Amino acid sequence: MNRLRELQQRRNLDCRDQWLSYAEHRHQVMQQLAKSAGGRLCILGAGNCNDIDLASLLAAFNEVHLVDLDATALADGVARQSVEDERLHAYGDVEVTGVWELLEQVAADGLEVTRADLLAQSLADAPALPMPGPFDCVVSLCLLSQLIDAVSEACGRDDSRVNDLVLKARDQHLRLLAELTTQGGTSVLVSDFVSSDTCPELLTIPSSDLPRAAQQALATGNFFTGLNPAAIASRIAKDPTMFERFGHPRIAAPWRWRLGDRMFAVFAMHWSRQSNSAPDC
């Protein structure tokens, strides 16, 4: 089995039964999704479904489509919430980058120049996925940090080429969100960006102090590579094609997400797929 898939499955198993500890994070995620209620919803990275309340989503949206690489975690997550509805669709074993097998080769044999070039080329376009899009609302749910970590894990965190590949993976993911979103619809990027490993005060500060702590972490470079929300917004603004699709993103106030003994700070970024943008090919 692909080693990167095994790593993701182990992570899902580790947090499989953490529904209660996800409560604050889930509440915040559901508040963000409520802003785009109605129509067809697609969630990338649904995993164990601990981040979302399926019954509430089905009450707010006409259809709900859940997508994840780990088919077992996704099926079990849906089953644990005891929701049966023909408007709920789950797609397991879906890899959203198109480069997972290549990353496995890199992890096994190293990042040669040829493989680095092939990875860069493959990340230039978002792969076709099996869901019946486009959707009125598309959400990346704490998935981007996992994709970036997979690139770093496979390529070697000290390799000088990894930073460029990480940013290419991030940009590919942003393009994918846009391509899956109908014109006039909403894309939502939810991502963790720093943990208590390097920002221990996340474990103890009151919620009212979180924006200050998050801003300080970002200002001092204490964040996961590629996941500074201001840098993502700037990237969109400076790229003519992205800006034509996204316009100006809106960044919500951060919140905390407890995952076992660690605490993460999380942001949500919303943007509307511009109704006057060119159709996707």
Q: Which residue has the higher pLDDT, 238 or 1?
A: 238
265, part of any domain? yes
pLDDT tens profile 132-160:
989 999 999 999 999 999 999 888 877 77
pLDDT the model gives residue 105: 87
20/101 Cα distance (integer angstroms): 35
pLDDT tens profile 55-94:
999 999 999 999 999 999 999 999 999 999 999 999 999 9
Q: In terms of Cα–Cα distance, which of 2, 78, 23, 26 is closest to 47?
A: 78
279, part of any domain? no
278, part of any domain? no
pLDDT tens profile 267-278:
999 998 766 544
pLDDT the model gives residue 275: 62
Note down the domain range covering 67.
3-272
165/128 Cα distance (integer angstroms): 20
- pLDDT over 50 at 232, yes or no: yes
162, part of any domain? yes
- What is the token pair recorded at 151? 């690139």
Length of the chain: 281
CA dihedral 232, 235, 241, 247 (to 10 degrees): 60
Which CATH number belongs to the domain containing residue 227 in this structure?
A: 3.40.50.150
Strand blocks (E) in 95-219: 135-141, 181-195
Phi first, then psi: what are they for 269, rounded to 5°? -125, 130
pLDDT tens profile 17-48:
889 999 999 999 999 999 999 999 999 999 99
201, part of any domain? yes
Per the structure, the count of domains in the chain is 1
124, part of any domain? yes
281, part of any domain? no
38, part of any domain? yes
- The SS3 of residue 49 is coil
Percent of the chain scored above 70 by pLDDT? 96
Amino acid letter, 81: Q
- The SS3 of residue 28 is helix
pTM of the model: 0.92
pLDDT the model gives residue 247: 78
